[in-house]
Amino acid sequence: GATGGVEGGYSSFEWETSGPSSKSLYTLFCASFVIVSGWELGRSMVWVIMTSQVTMKTQDLLVAISDEANAYTQHMGFLYLDSISMYMPWERRKLFVMRKQASAWRYISKAIITTLEKMATDLCDLQQLRRPHYGGIMSRLFIISRDRTANAVAQNVQLCVWAAHSGASLAVNALENKEDEYGEVIRTLPDILNAMLALSIALQDYVQSKKPEVFVGSKEKVAALHGHQLARSQWIYLGTQLDTAIYRIISGYYEHMKLFKVPPEHAARLNLYMSFESQ
pLDDT of residue 46: 61
**What is the 3-class SS of 176-197, one letter each residue?**
HCCCCCCCHHHHHHHHHHHHHH
197-255 pLDDT per residue, tens: 999 999 888 877 755 444 544 444 444 544 444 455 778 888 889 999 999 999 888 88
Summary mean pLDDT of the chain: 75
Comparing CA positions, the residue from 185, 183, 161, 200 lying closest to residue 82 is 161
- Contact assessment for residue 228 and residue 216, using Cβ atoms and an 8 Å cutoff: yes
**How far apart are the C-alpha atoms of 163 and 258, rounded to whole Å?**
24
Rg (CA), the chain: 27
**How far apart are the C-alpha atoms of 153 and 119, rounded to whole Å?**
7
Contacts with 13 (C-beta within 8 Å, 6 or more apart), sequence order: 2, 3, 4
Helix (H, G, I), strand (E, B) or coil at 48: helix
Report CA-CA distances (Å) from 46 to 39, 79, 82, 125: 11, 15, 16, 39
Q: Where are the beta strands (DSSP E) in the chain?
A: 2-7, 10-15, 98-99, 102-103
Most confident of 117-126, 191-200, 232-241, 264-273: 191-200
Higher-scoring residue by pLDDT: 144, 107: 107
Q: Residue 124 CB: number of other CB atoms within 10 A?
A: 14
pLDDT of residue 71: 85
- pTM for the model stands at 0.68
**How far apart are the C-alpha atoms of 255 and 4, rounded to whole Å?**
74
**How far apart are the C-alpha atoms of 146 and 236, rounded to whole Å?**
20
Q: Residue 15 CB: number of other CB atoms within 10 A?
A: 8
pLDDT band at 113 (very low <50, low <70, confident <90, very high): very high
> How confident is the model over 102-114, as a mean pLDDT?
90
Distance of alpha carbon 40 from its chain centroid, rounded? 19
Contacts with 165 (C-beta within 8 Å, 6 or more apart), sequence order: 82, 85, 241, 244, 245
